[in-house]
Amino acid sequence: MPLTAAGARLPPGGRIVALTFSPCVDVTFEVDAVRPGSKLRGRNLRRDPGGGGVNIARVLRHCGREAEVVLPAGGPTGERLLTLLAGETVRCRPIVAEAETREDFTAVEPASGREYRFVLPAPPLSQGESDHVVETAVALTPGGAILAASGSLPPDGDSGLYATVARRCRDKGVRLALDAPARDLRPALAQGAWLIKPNLDELTEVAGRPLPDRPARLDACRTLLARFGLDWVAASFGADGALLVGRQGAWAAAAPAVTPVSTVGAGDSFLGVLLDGLARDAEPAQALVRAVAAGAAALLSPGVQLCRLADIDRLQPAVSVEALGID
């Protein structure tokens, strides 16, 4: 399989390597209406590279930062995924997998604005393949740099894969940023991480209690921070904005009002831009504001085009931020 290459030199602010165990090709198309029993004819078909770590690497590339993504890739769909990444000049370190890379599908009704997302199960990885992915990602990430691991794990695989990644990062002094479903996140927390990015459902599940308002969500973030020795909890709540909670303080940002075209990739855009800011040693409040603007900007593009810099710059002044102090 081909490797992609990007020509730009790594900007200041440290290296970021992205990792995903479940990449995909995202297929998006429009239909007049989704109706049972009918033949639904699609139009305006587009394909984008997808999966959490893939999208983070793409966002970082949009920011002008040369990032590299480590992923398993198998079969013709895996080859197409690598070709799509090459088209965006995203550096890629593929691990050849036996099972074919998956496709996900999104059907959009332009008249109603409804979006129907079909996420297929990730293909299995052998023990050797998953070990190779972990070893490659950790080896590529120097001590002190950031490894951004994002996305779900194969459903029939090792549920402790992220715990293994966290342990290896801890031993090497790599800063692990982890965005994963609660069932995959929970085993990794005991091994430590630098940053986690739960959404509201994930934060609620990990906290084990309802989180109906900002005080409850802030308390949950602070509890996770203290209990697991994290540096940062970045919790995203969609239209309700986000929290960034760290050892030096906490900040809340309100999201700008936009009319969504597609919701796919908003969380990855948020995290990618946040990591870019933190890697550049931006003030936390400034990094959060730009990240929230990026999440909103991703809603404005069809398919999985993610955020565009022009939209981030335009939306950033509409993001309000509030310092919540130190607990």
Active site residues: 268
List the end-to-end C-alpha distance of the chain, in Å, as a whole number.
50
Residue with tokens 């831009």: 273
CA dist., res. 160 & res. 15, Å (int): 26
In angstroms and rounded to an integer, the radius of gyration of the C-alpha atoms of the chain is 19
